[in-house]
Structure 1
Amino acid sequence: MTESRPVTLLMRSEALAARAALAFLRRLGPVGASNVGGAICRVIGPRLPVSRVADANLRLAMPELDAPARRAIIRAVWDNLGRTVGEFPHLPTLKENPPSGPGWDVVGAEHLAAQLARGGPVIFMSGHIGNWEMLPPAVGRHGLPFASFYRAAGNPLVDDMIRALREAAMKAATGDGATGGRALPMFAKGARGARGALAHLARGGRLGMLIDQKMNDGIEARLFGHPAMTAPALAAMALRYRCAVIPGYVERLGPARLRIHVEPPLHLPDSGDRQADILALTQAVNDRLERWVRARPGSWLWLHRRWPKSARP
């Protein structure tokens, strides 16, 4: 278990329901589970209050969209989220470069090969786009398994299930060869986790970060032309160790069919003004995220409050 917390009867009931849901999804197979997850969320999700957050975000970020276009994007967001959940227990079974059907491929694998040859610390940056859970095992399959930041689920029994599924996907992708049979470290979000991640990079480790969520005590960068408080940790760590920052995201091609896009490392500023360099790199990260989201707005998780209330229409 991730940490010592009292387990209540409600937690046990939730865990029992989660195990039953996982068993059901496994019986459906990857395509069936993806389709069922997408269908359920497409029907229920747009009716939930949180979808009003997504609509407000879209009106702010993409004011050129009319109401029907926003509704279509929100429906696509829920479809993608449901498919991501449905596919989760099947990640260990998905193969690279299948001729058809479920599986995944990589565009830009040469950037992974170059980093593998170069060695040393690296930060992989991404966002909640497509099936983001496929990124760690796919990159691990190419010889670069990485540690991650992690927000534990409130129920420790469910949290154990989530971690076990992620570890199973990594093991299936790497065959334990790239990890030496050891579970990769998971750093809790917060000051303690940041210190652990810094030490990991100092030892030449690899780290993955999803950089698209609001951080109230972050720094003000811009996203879709509006101020957005953004975590500076990625920029601060990359500049401290001058380690490569490799962007990448997952494109959904179909049910349980995914494409991992890997891009060249970002330029690391070196002006001599540390705070200015941190802001410049953080802005470059937000700019890259914005480019990905504009290309496929229905694939991003618009459901969280990314901008301050004062910026919303």
Structure 2
Amino acid sequence: MNVTPDMGSVRWPMKLEAAAAHISLWVLQRLKAEAASNLGGRLCRAVGPLLPVSKIADANLQLAMPELDAPARKGVIKGVWENLGRTVGEFPHISSLQENTAAGPGFEVAGVEHLVAQAKRGGPVLFVSGHIGNWEMLPPGVAKYGVGFASFYRAAGNPLVDRMIRDLRDAAMAVPLPLFAKGAKGAKEALRWVGGGHRLGMLVDQKMNDGIEARFFGHPAMTAPALAAMALRFRCPVIPGHVQRLGPARLRIVVEPPMTLPDSGDRQADIATLTQAINDQLEKWIRACPESWLWLHRRWPKKVMPTSHRGY
């Protein structure tokens, strides 16, 4: 259940920010899903590449995909912003998108058999993905097959905006499931959740300074080991999945077969092996469509970045 923020403790700048967010949400909700996607995509494609954070994306691309020249990287970055804008524009409409095979707004699922098998099997399952395509479609789309999962969640700095986001996510789910706060407390709660036989989804494509080192696009990248550790502790299936963008508010959820869990007898080595396998899967998806991933994060350590970009 979402807790209503204490308005007396919310400062005026936050109230103004929340008012602007509310108006933007009101506008997007009154547009059709396709129009909201187009509006968000066009705005972000025009403005995003001009923002300083786009220099981080360019540095990441130089490191990870050196085969791309400057014009190609510029095109990818424009695509990244367009996808992000479309994801924001579509967010208020996620709850109304229906599964169908026709053209136009909606979604489809590839690999349904893996979801059906897990629904019949029961017990704990870990779903793994990244910020690819419209990742917000994963929880409600998977839930329609009886395998809804709880998630980790980073709260917005503004509690009023945070409440709007949580309300939209709850509305997209037939039965709202827990959102665990990122951090030690949330990790313990998630561990108990999975240990109780429930399902959990995690986006594991961002840098975690206190994680373990694994390769990502051929370079060392600090990576969260929690998913691998839980999978090996409970010997539960790890199902990779991501969202492909087919058009405005038109999405495809791709569900892969459960991953093979290592069992060498060396727990730490097995955690490292599974964590690397997850990074490899993410890399495969991203290479297939680079503009679908959020290249805007500082994913790699400064020491491996191109010299001219280490200050960003």
117, 122, 141: which one pairs with 1:114? Answer: 117
Give the match for residue 225 of structure 2. Answer: 232
Assess if the C-alpha contact under 8 Å between 1:150 and 1:186 holds in 2.
yes
Deviations 1:120-145 (A, max 9, x none): 10010000000000000000011111
Structure-2 separation of matches of 1:34 and 1:3: 29
Q: How does 1:49-60 map to 2 (within 5 A)?
A: 49-60=52-63
Tell whether 2:66 aligns with 1:63: yes
Tell whether 2:145 aligns with 1:142: yes
Deviates more, 1:95-104 or 1:68-77: 95-104
Tell whether 2:249 aligns with 1:253: no
Tell whether 2:192 aligns with 1:209: no
- Equivalenced residue count is 303
Letter in 2 for 1:144: V
Deviation at 1:305, TM superposition (A): 0.2
Structure-1 separation of matches of 2:198 and 2:16: 38
Unaligned 5+ segments in structure 2 are: 307-312
* 1:301 counterpart SS class: coil
Deviation at 1:210, TM superposition (A): 0.2
Structure-2 separation of matches of 1:126 and 1:237: 16
Assess if the C-alpha contact under 8 Å between 2:100 and 2:107 holds in 1.
yes
Give the match for residue 177 of structure 2. Answer: 184
Structure-2 separation of matches of 1:280 and 1:209: 18
* 2:273 counterpart SS class: helix
Deviations 1:1-48 (A, max 9, x none): 558673111111111111100110112210000000000000000000
Assess if the C-alpha contact under 8 Å between 1:2 and 1:159 holds in 2.
no
Unaligned 5+ segments in structure 1 are: 172-178
270, 276, 297: which one pairs with 1:277? Answer: 270
Assess if the C-alpha contact under 8 Å between 1:58 and 1:70 holds in 2.
yes
Deviation at 1:237, TM superposition (A): 0.6
Give the match for residue 48 of structure 1. Answer: 51
Assess if the C-alpha contact under 8 Å between 2:5 and 2:160 holds in 1.
no
The runs of at least 4 aligned residues of structure 1 exceeding 3 Å deviation read 1-5
Assess if the C-alpha contact under 8 Å between 1:235 and 1:281 holds in 2.
yes
Structure-1 separation of matches of 2:101 and 2:36: 19
* 1:271 counterpart SS class: coil
Deviates more, 1:103-112 or 1:21-30: 21-30
Deviation at 1:100, TM superposition (A): 2.1
What is the TM-score with the length of structure 2 in the denominator? 0.95
Structure-2 separation of matches of 1:143 and 1:78: 33
What is the TM-score with the length of structure 1 in the denominator? 0.95
Assess if the C-alpha contact under 8 Å between 1:2 and 1:156 holds in 2.
no
Q: Equivalent pairs: percent with the same residue?
A: 69
Give the match for residue 160 of structure 1. Answer: 163
Give the match for residue 77 of structure 1. Answer: 80
Give the match for residue 310 of structure 2. Answer: none
* 1:276 counterpart SS class: helix
Structure-2 separation of matches of 1:13 and 1:137: 31
299, 303, 306: which one pairs with 1:306? Answer: 299
Assess if the C-alpha contact under 8 Å between 2:106 and 2:249 holds in 1.
yes
Structure-2 separation of matches of 1:56 and 1:309: 10
Give the match for residue 13 of structure 1. Answer: 16
Structure-2 separation of matches of 1:69 and 1:14: 35
Give the match for residue 176 of structure 1. Answer: none
